[in-house]
Amino acid sequence: MTFNELHKNSYPLLLANVWDVSSAKAAEELGFKAIGTSSAAIASMLGYEDGEKIKFEELCYFVKKIANNTSLPLSVDLEAGYSRTPTKIIEHIKILSTYGVVGINLEDSIVNEERKLVDGKSFAKVILEIKNQLEITNLNIFLNIRIDTFLLDIPNKLEETLKRMELYTKAGANGLFIPCLSKESDIKVLVDKSMLPINVMAMPNLPNFERLKVLGVKRISMGNFLFNNMTSVLKHNLFEIMKNKSFEIIYNHAN
């Protein structure tokens, strides 16, 4: 089943968000159908803040290593493209495709001093240019377009999301990703209005997977929350080792 087809099943595609070879291998061993990189997790591993603070070449190093060590379809979080120029973003996507990458996330906000939405109509033109170039070069890359209206909690976020959904759909997006969307009524409105698969992300109040299936969600991501959870466990274990002057916590956990 192709990556595109995985978004058409009745049950949502649960995407394991990974950050290195070990996490990718764990996802494959446990039977996940696809994986996606977490930009925030990779950035954190290298000591950066999220928001394109790492170099594209550094991202490529991790992507290539992951792709070479798994047979799962791999999607890459390209943030805002690591460039403000469509031709450069297209070049980046083409490079990733040489590693076997089958999908990308591209978001409609950028981080300078703080994260801000870009103009929706202008971003739609970027999507259209990318889509046209991919078709010209016969590259089948799933464009999962991230709408950051809920993430930034802007005023009238539901209405603005609907406007951007329409713009990005017409421009050639293959899927729409709305992080921080968790309220059932909002999910239903957006799914019902969308012609494309809707992707939601792990949140404390997100409905369970069975309920998301009923609501019509087609993809569920973990973002960087799994990585954050593992980091918290690591910190706890290190604390226990220091406190108890023993490695018991490691072996108890392993068993």
Residue of 3, 223, 28 lying closest to 100 (CA atoms): 3
Residues 209 and 180 in one domain: yes
Residues 130 and 248 in one domain: no
CATH number of the structural domain spanning residue 114: 3.20.20.60
When divided into structural domains, the chain yields a total of: 2
Residues 90 and 169 in one domain: yes
pLDDT of residue 255: 47
Residues 77 and 174 in one domain: yes
**Alpha-carbon gap, residue 76 to 59, rounded angstroms:** 9
Residues 215 and 250 in one domain: no
Residues 41 and 55 in one domain: yes
Phi, psi of 232 (to 5 degrees): -65, -40
Torsion 86-87-88-90 (CA) sign? positive
Please count the residues of the chain: 255
**Alpha-carbon gap, residue 46 to 200, rounded angstroms:** 26
Query: CA 230: distance to chain centroid?
Result: 18
Q: Which range marks the domain in which residue 248 is found?
A: 225-255
Residues 85 and 175 in one domain: yes
Residues 107 and 212 in one domain: yes
The token pair that represents 52 in the structure block: 């394109």
Distance, first Cα to last Cα, the chain = 36
Residues 108 and 26 in one domain: yes
Residues 154 and 239 in one domain: no
Residues 109 and 157 in one domain: yes
pLDDT values of the chain reduced to their tens digit, one per residue, 255 residues: 899 999 999 999 999 999 999 999 999 999 999 999 999 999 999 999 999 999 999 999 999 999 999 999 999 999 999 999 999 999 999 999 999 999 999 999 999 889 999 999 999 999 999 999 999 999 999 999 999 999 999 999 999 999 999 999 999 999 999 999 999 999 999 999 999 999 999 999 999 999 999 999 999 999 999 999 999 999 999 999 999 999 999 987 554
Residues 45 and 141 in one domain: yes
